[in-house]
Amino acid sequence: LRRIAITTGGGDAPGLNAVIQAVTRAALLRGWTCVGIRDGYDGLLRPDRYRAGDGCIELTAERVEGLAALGGTLLGSTSKGNPFAYPMPQPDGRTALVDRSQDLLDALAREGIDALVAVGGDGSLAIAHQLAQRGLPVVGVPKTIDNDLDGTVMTFGFDTAVAFASECLDRLHTTAASHHRVLTVEVMGRYAGWIALHAGLAGGAHAILLPEIPFDLAPVAELIARREAQGLGYSLVVVAEGAHPRDGERALCGPAEAGHAERLGGMGEQVSQALARLTGKDARCVVLGHLLRGGSPSAFDRVAALRFGAAAVRALAAGQSGVMVALDGRDVRPVPLAEVAGRMKAVPLDGDTLATARDLGVCLGLPQA
Ligand code: F6P
């Protein structure tokens, strides 16, 4: 009888619970048993934190009933519990990063667990790869609302985040228009602008600033002025949190403010203040932040997550390890973790989605010739 474990690591994403449900059901149907490790690997590495025996949750059919519709993760998550560099308090009061991978492998063996499904982003998948190299059968499942993981066409959670952000933009159109304002909306996307680009297109943003294109605010200010001259006295600007100006701080701050950008808040707020100064218009910033990660997954994300979870169990049943299940455009199939773990997927600058934005006249903050 096989006994597999599932762990969820890093930032949560709508669809995590659907993966847990699919893995559990597919495992039970094969006659296996399935447990969920709480809070990344902490449930096994920090037994002091949990009530006796509560570091792992036995995943039964009853436990996962109705789970696919729920946001968050039943198991809890953490970005701070890398078993290969685990934060441990030292006698001198400092915290050292200690390799506790053997502790984890021992704990898994004690629990009778012989394989692992690791759901997570770049960090968690890199850990999954290292565990597989230590001989544990491991299958990774890619997860991030940011959609920036390489090797898979899409990650679950992205669709839900984009749908919510575009609904927010719909609402902001009417209030921005009523007050003739420039509204800047900051969305998550530390390294890639997938959410900003897709939500910006869906929500009719007039300018979209992405980490992939260091921006210049002069063309954005000109677009706002052009719209004003056409009688369109308001504009919406979507900014990915990881977007940055082409010439550094100076693009955002007046000379008196240079050197003090950190006082101005996140990139959305900085862009908003700079646009107010450049255009003379009333401007406000809305930061969507963790709202994009919360809530119930869209139907698309539920199906994607169920497919990823089921494919992970199929891969384990086929004797595969050291792989990540990935959407290749049609099917979810295993790809070697060695080829994808830790690799980011940026918005392609020559892709048709960016071309669409350009064709529609959306300003991307591209430097002027
Ligand atoms: O899941 C990735 C992400 O959404 C990033 O876009 C964002 O910077 C990060 O999570 C924030 O996560 P937390 O506040 O949980 O550290």
Averaged over successive runs of 10 residues, the pLDDT of the chain (369 residues) comes to 93 97 98 97 91 90 98 93 94 95 96 96 95 97 97 97 98 97 97 98 98 96 96 97 84 51 76 96 97 97 98 98 96 96 93 97 87
For residue 130, report the phi and psi dihedrals to the nearest 5 degrees: -65, -40
Judge whether 188 is annotated as a binding position.
yes
Look at residue 48 in the predicted model and tell me its pLDDT.
85
Dihedral sign computed on CA atoms, order 51, 55, 60, 62 = positive
For residue 15, report the phi and psi dihedrals to the nearest 5 degrees: 120, -15
Judge whether 189 is annotated as a binding position.
yes
* Residues with a CB atom less than 6 Å from ligand 1: 11, 144-146, 188-190, 241, 293
Tell me the CA–centroid distance for residue 295 and ligand 1, in Å: 15
Per-residue pLDDT of 302-347, as tens digits, reads 999 999 999 999 999 999 999 999 999 899 999 999 999 889 999 9
Tell me the CA–centroid distance for residue 122 and ligand 1, in Å: 12
What value of ipTM does the predicted structure carry?
0.96
Which residue has its alpha carbon closest to ligand 1 atom 12? 11
Between β-strands 207-209 and 235-240, what pairing exists: parallel, antiparallel or unpaired? parallel
Q: Is 282 considered catalytic here?
A: no
Tell me the CA–centroid distance for residue 12 and ligand 1, in Å: 9
Distance from C-alpha of 287 to C-alpha of 298, rounded to nearest angstrom: 21
Element (H, E) at 334: strand 332-336
Judge whether 241 is annotated as a binding position.
yes
Residue 204, classified by CB atoms within 10 Å of its CB into exposed (0-12), middle (13-18) or buried (19+), is middle
